[in-house]
Structure 1
Amino acid sequence: MMAKYCVFVQLWLLQSISAASSLVNVAPNGAATQSSTYTPLGDAYRAIDGNKNPDFFNGSCSHTLLGGVSHWWSLLLPAVYRIERISITNRNELPERINNVQILIGNSLENNGNNNPSCTVISSIPSGATRTFQCGGMIGRLVNLYLNSTDPNVALTVCELEVYGELAAPAPSFSAVVMGRNVAVVERKLCWSDALLYCRDFYWDLLSIRSGQEQTEVQAVLTTVSSNLTKQVWLGLRRYLMAGTWFWMSGTSMSFYYLDTQSPWQETSPCGGIDTSAPFHWREIPCGDHLHFICLKDIQNKTQRVEFFSSTKPKSP
């Protein structure tokens, strides 16, 4: 019995190692920003360009301004990932500038993402070397490097950062682009609040529709998706209970309306969705109905999302 158990453990370890080694670097698919830029030669995106050249003057390393209170470099991934490991290549000159940098992973945009949980603190990386840090499957869409220092001679510079992980959410049933925005149609039946939290956990928010052109493109998406969709799908459409005014949970201005004013639930439910067949009206729907839904994948930095908390789920850190 013991021999069989040992064989089982060995096989499990081999499978685990194989799965870990098959992970792909997803960093190049993200968007990089940083607290400041020393020179265009040190733009944030240079740390995810696939080039590990450790010589800053060869144009493949990021670099913030010298001095200041804190320095940060941030990577926004295209979706939420379960991150197993992060590899960082240090520059060959002044390698000590990477010392004491924190690696942070999470979904919060608060403080430019620098309040997210820590994977580790970098003690040091040798000159021009690459070092890998295990993050144990931490879940997040933001990967930040954060250095809190008032030293006038210190800056944050990275020659390459690689992120190895897998999507934390199941692949959406259908992905599309609507007026330049990436959306995901999720064929999972949830009530309105759970659909909202699902989108906020794994993408950005339930979809908002800003114009007649976007309405037309959303209709085309719904027509293209399989016929298995529910009769309506949830949008990020919500109504103030007292005032009766509709708004978008994403913070987008309500400048375009396509509401069906003949809805049998008119003024009784604060949740809204869209028909999945012509004439594709928006309508009030009981919030507890379990429907498919459409998520907006792209973070909208120019809008302030409406906060929403569930009694069954704690507020995100």
Structure 2
Amino acid sequence: MMNPFHFKGLVLLLWLLPDFTGSYFSNVAPRGIASQVSTHVHGGNASRAIDGNSNPDFLAGSCTHTAITGENLKLLLPALYKITSVSITTRIRNPERLNNAEIFIGNSTENNGINNPSCAVITSIPSGATQTFQCGAMIGRLVRISLNRPNGILTLCEVEVYGEPVPPSPSFSAVVSGRGIVVVEKKLCWSDALFYCRDFYWDLLSIRSKEEQKEVEEVLRTASFPLNQHVWMGLRRSLMDSIWFWMSGASVNYSYWKTHSPLQISSPCGGVDTRDPFHWTDLPCGDHLYFICLTDVQEEVKRVSFYSSTRP
């Protein structure tokens, strides 16, 4: 005869297991930004995928619909998440249009995110139904649903992304010319600082004007933790010549170098002094420094790609 106390313990253990539909975690999709290459002439904006309304009737006004030239939907989350599952609700009509679509999760924006790892292939979902795909705690900020065929139409009624944020290091937040920034209290080399900003936020800081320079100086004066002599920014020099650029893709229309001639600068990585006169300066790329990240997505510019042999 089974010990009743053991039996109760077994029941309690099963009750504490996660809900494998993903509801053990919160749905983070509504906090993101949804986009698609094109929208059908009769409507079906990408934002409908994360509006919290899973009504499967397109006429109810809560389903997406691309034109024939747009066969993917992207969801950019506000930060880096450990994603356990993705749930998708199909339309009542034409649910087969989602057949064999694939879900990608990661941080790369190259090729609109199709280079990221795959979570699952959507073989088929019944008409108007919701199906959950387990992603095994994949880490990423960009979720892409893509048809594996040309000239397809991607249409669905809700995308739910379940997971939890990957906590970044402590930071000091501020706003510079309407752009959110953070000074990160973590010492990294330049390339690791770049990847960190792109994983958790958007990119390393770019300074586009004298006004922004002055605002950054004030941020450095009032940082909530002691700073070393320099912090990293998104300044990078081409290895083939003396041309400097911003990794965020911003135009270089303003400069505030410590040296009068950038031609004399030797290291390809740039930072900024944390004390008066707050000049920009080149620094050994391997130096471990605090750094400044842009937190807001800058969709109007194309970020500069950067590769590292130490980065998978």
TM bucket by the smaller chain?
Answer: 0.7 to 0.9
Which whole-Å CA distance do the structure 2 matches of 1:85 and 1:172 have between them?
28
Q: Residues 221 and 121 (structure 1 numbering): CA distance in 2 closer, same or farther, change over 3 Å?
A: same
Aligned match for 2:45, one of 43, 46, 67: 43
Provide closer, same or farther for how the CA distance between residues 288 and 131 of structure 1 changes in structure 2, counting only shifts above 3 A: same
Question: In the alignment, is the contact (CA less than 8 A) between 1:191 and 1:291 conserved in 2?
Answer: yes
Counterpart in the other structure of 1:142? 142
Greater shift in the superposed pair: 100-109 or 167-176: 167-176
- RMSD (Å), alpha carbons: 3.1
Alignment partner of 1:26 out of 16, 22, 28: 28
Tell me the TM-score normalized by structure 2. 0.84
Q: 1:38 to 1:177 in 2, by over 3 A?
A: same
Aligned: 1:277 with 2:279: no
2:298 and 2:29 map into 1 onto residues whose CA distance is 20
- 1:230 is aligned with what amino acid? N
Instruction: Tell me if the contact between 2:231 and 2:274 (Cα under 8 Å) persists in the aligned partners.
Output: yes
- Report the Cα distance in structure 2 between the residues aligned to 1:116 and 1:211, rounded to whole angstroms: 35
Partner of residue 230, structure 2: 232
* C-alpha spacing 1:44/1:230, structure 2 compared with 1 (3 Å): same
Q: CA deviation at 1:186?
A: 1.2
Other-structure match for 1:207? 205
Matches for 1:169-248 after TM superposition, within 5 Å: 169-240=167-238, 243-248=241-246
* Structure 2 residue identity aligned to 1:176: A
2:129 corresponds to = 129
Report what 2:295 is aligned to: 297
Question: Which residue in the other structure is 1:56 paired with?
Answer: 58
Q: TM-score, normalised by structure 1?
A: 0.83
After alignment, is 42-51 or 235-244 more displaced? 235-244
Change (3 A) 1:102 1:243: closer
Q: Which runs of 5+ in 2 are unaligned?
A: 1-5
Structure 1 residue aligned with 2:3: none
Q: Separation in 2 of the partners of 1:197 and 1:110?
A: 14
SS of alignment partner, residue 256 of structure 1? coil
Paired residue for 2:108?
A: 108
Q: Which residue is 1:83 aligned to?
A: 83
Task: Return the alpha-carbon distance in structure 2 between the equivalents of residues 309 and 13 of structure 1.
Answer: 45
In 2, the alpha carbon distance for the partners of 1:171 and 1:239 equals: 27
Deviation per residue, 1:257-309 (Å, 9 max, x gap):
1222289xx63433221222333222223323211001123444444444433
